[in-house]
Structure 1
Amino acid sequence: MVFAFVASITPGPNNLMLMASGANFGFRRTVPHMLGVAGGFVVMVVLVGMGLAQVFQIYPVSYTVLMVVSVLYLMFLAWKIATAAPPREVEHVGTPFTFLQAALFQWVNPKAWAMALTAISVYSPSKDLGAIVLVALIFGLINLPSVSTWTLLGEQLQRVLTNPLRLRLFNFAMAILLLASLYPVIFANGAGPL
């Protein structure tokens, strides 16, 4: 439970995007995004535990391909966040992630992969279905309140982000932080770029 909490509450692509969504769209409109993160990650943990992680052992290049695609997609999302429309334009142009988009995002989220692989290898090394489901449920129960905290923080920031310039600066800062969250992925173990 402690690992699930620390992994879920610390900054990463999901939490930064949820904070930006909370600031831009509010808590209520971001609920499907939050539920998609929590639900999508639970499914990911179960599938990783049931053997999906072995694909990376059998075909090591698949992990590299996944990381490259993930980094490129997160760079695209950072650009979308940095160039998000100001509040008056958001009602017409921007929309928060849907449940399905957030659930599918877990599959290109490097932090989600690291969390799922670590959780299964450390807390369910036998790959027993009961243990896998228990790890997934614990993550689901802890992840949703954790990601909700980031959304609430973003929503509270709406009070400060009362003009288009402040919102643009906030969105730009969130985009930079999202890109910074890729540093451990790109430069893993001091081995240099992927």
Structure 2
Amino acid sequence: MVSNSLMAAAGLLLISTLSPGPNNLVVLRAAAHGGLQAAGPAIAGIVLGGLAMLGLVLAGLGSTFLHSSSLRTVVATGGAGYLAWLGIGLMRAHAGNEDRTALPAGLAGLFGFQFLNPKSWVMVLSLVAAFPQVGLATTLAWLAPAFVLIPTASLLLWASAGQRLAVHFQHPTTRRRIDCAMGIALLACAILLLL
């Protein structure tokens, strides 16, 4: 029973981490600007943030979310607002001034970003809710390796794509278009979250 649930959880985790979202866009952009070495701290922050969220949800925060519609609304609205702000920042950024984008960066920035990323919350809450009730330690022992291996592999794929885009980021017009496309994607995520 647990092994079947783990396979289902791994599949959901794989689909969630491979599909476009804020984490993937940040990693793609970091790799495009500085290669895999620049994306490494972002990937570590995302993975460690996901593990921290998993621990918090298993420790009881998940039931608080389930029973408090106002808390879910606050987190969804705050997360959507932050995603919209990041998206607008990317769309407004000048090609030569990446600092204006205000995207989260580094291990600490992406660790904290996980707690503002609605997609991360939905993924963790869904996985924990669907997993059999086998106790905190056992559930953590089953899910933690998946929460490390699958997102790391998915984010490395996104970083590889970013590295391939690096040549295009050297051209200001192309970089501007890519930043606008990523900004629109983040803004769309925010709007869909509010709907």
TM-score (ref. length: structure 2): 0.85
- Once the two structures are TM-superposed, the CA of residue 47 in structure 1 deviates from its matched residue by 1.2
**Residues 9-158 of structure 1 aligned to structure 2 (within 5 Å):** 9-86=18-95, 89-90=97-98, 97-158=105-166
Residues in 2 aligned to 1:96 and 1:58: alpha-carbon distance in whole angstroms:
30
Alpha carbons 1:34, 1:99 under 8 Å: kept: yes
Amino acid at match of 1:75: A
- After the TM superposition, which parts of structure 1 deviate over 6 Å for at least 4 consecutive aligned residues? 93-96
Deviations 1:38-78 (A, max 9, x none): 11101111211121112223432011011111011111111
- Once the two structures are TM-superposed, the CA of residue 154 in structure 1 deviates from its matched residue by 1.2
- Once the two structures are TM-superposed, the CA of residue 125 in structure 1 deviates from its matched residue by 3.7
Residues in 1 aligned to 2:126 and 2:188: alpha-carbon distance in whole angstroms:
21
Residues in 1 aligned to 2:181 and 2:13: alpha-carbon distance in whole angstroms:
27
Q: Which of the numbers 1, 5, 13 marks the counterpart of 1:4?
A: 13
Residues in 2 aligned to 1:158 and 1:41: alpha-carbon distance in whole angstroms:
27
Residues in 2 aligned to 1:150 and 1:80: alpha-carbon distance in whole angstroms:
21
Higher helix share: 2
Alpha carbons 2:49, 2:111 under 8 Å: kept: yes
Q: Which of the numbers 180, 188, 191 marks the counterpart of 2:188?
A: 180
Amino acid at match of 1:147: L
**Alignment CA distance shift 1:84-1:137 (3 Å):** farther
Deviations 1:126-148 (A, max 9, x none): 44321133212212111111111
TM-score (ref. length: structure 1): 0.85
Amino acid at match of 1:101: G
In the alignment, structure 2 segments of 5+ residues that lack a partner are: 1-9
